[in-house]
Structure 1
Amino acid sequence: MSQDIRIDPRGYRFGAAVTLAVALVALILGAGVAGTVVIGVLALMFLPGATVGPQATVQAWLFKRLLRPRIGPPTETESFRPPRFAQQMGLAMAAAAFVFGLLDIAAGFYLFTGLVTVASFLNAVFGFCLGCEIYLLLKRTTTRAA
């Protein structure tokens, strides 16, 4: 993918709020079957964002159809690449939590579900995308090394 797709940063912040809600439900339900199913659904929700970009998620679709018509177009856009990396990190953490839930290892379930919760909280509430910042740090590090 050579072109840099531009996205509305409010969209992936909304997506983080949806992620936060789902992750909190998983934490409340706990490491049993119900919590494991919910975190598995969250992992599936991350999949299109991790492979295509955040513009391909269910959350982005909801944002475009329900919120954006009411708040208008963005004043600025951002590259999809850092949020896609954040989605990849979210997918990895949610998948790890799901596997730990399946294996009935509560500590692993809570650790990885907690990481998803904290990261989505930071983005939804403060607009701080932890995965995006890690992407930019890695990009700067690899660019200097080249």
Structure 2
Amino acid sequence: MGLDPRGPRFAAAVTSVVLAVVLVTGSGLLLVAQAVVFAVAVLAGPGASPYGWIYRALVAPRLAPPTEREDPRPVRFAQGVGLVFAVVGAVGYLAGLTALGIVAAAFALFAAFLNAVFGLCLGCEMYLRFRRATA
């Protein structure tokens, strides 16, 4: 069936806000919460994540049906990349390695922001390049 491509962009926008708050506050616990959101998307699929649920329940009904669908596998991979950065950042913040937390959260924010604003999913591009290279 595929994903409505507007859902991952919505999730990226929410993620961008969360990560910006993490960078402003230095909250390792908020970054742990974001890591949990990423983990749910990786394990159960992007549509099962809290942001996917919010999109489907509150945003999608107010929009026209999508004109196209996208493969969820690249999005799931991208969520896995986000998970790695969020875990590294959370460990950094919680272990007192603030610079590590800031750098990891900033990289994750950069990727989420590109997706939210420009529709450029870096993790999806990584997935597609890897698939082409191994095919």
TM-score range relative to shorter protein? over 0.9
TM-score, normalised relative to structure 2: 0.97
Q: Which runs of 4+ in 1 moved over 6 A?
A: none
Residues 45 and 58, structure 1, Cα contact 8 Å, conserved in 2 = yes
For 1:1-146, what aligned pairs fall within 5 Å after superposition?
5-30=1-26, 35-143=27-135
SS in 2 for 1:81: helix
- Distance between the aligned counterparts of 2:64 and 2:48, measured in 1? 20
Q: Percent identity, aligned pairs only? A: 42
Q: CA deviation at 1:72?
A: 2.1
CA deviation profile, 1:66-93 (whole Å, cap 9, x unmatched): 1111112100000100000000000110
TM-score, normalised relative to structure 1: 0.90
Aligned pair count reads 135
Structure 1 segments unaligned to the other structure (5+ residues): none
Residues 7 and 77, structure 1, Cα contact 8 Å, conserved in 2 = yes
CA deviation profile, 1:28-56 (whole Å, cap 9, x unmatched): 002xxxx1011111101111111122111
Q: CA deviation at 1:101?
A: 1.0
Bigger Rg, structure 1 or 2: 1
Q: CA deviation at 1:140?
A: 0.3
SS in 1 for 2:66: coil
- Distance between the aligned counterparts of 2:63 and 2:15, measured in 1? 21
Amino acid at match of 1:14: F
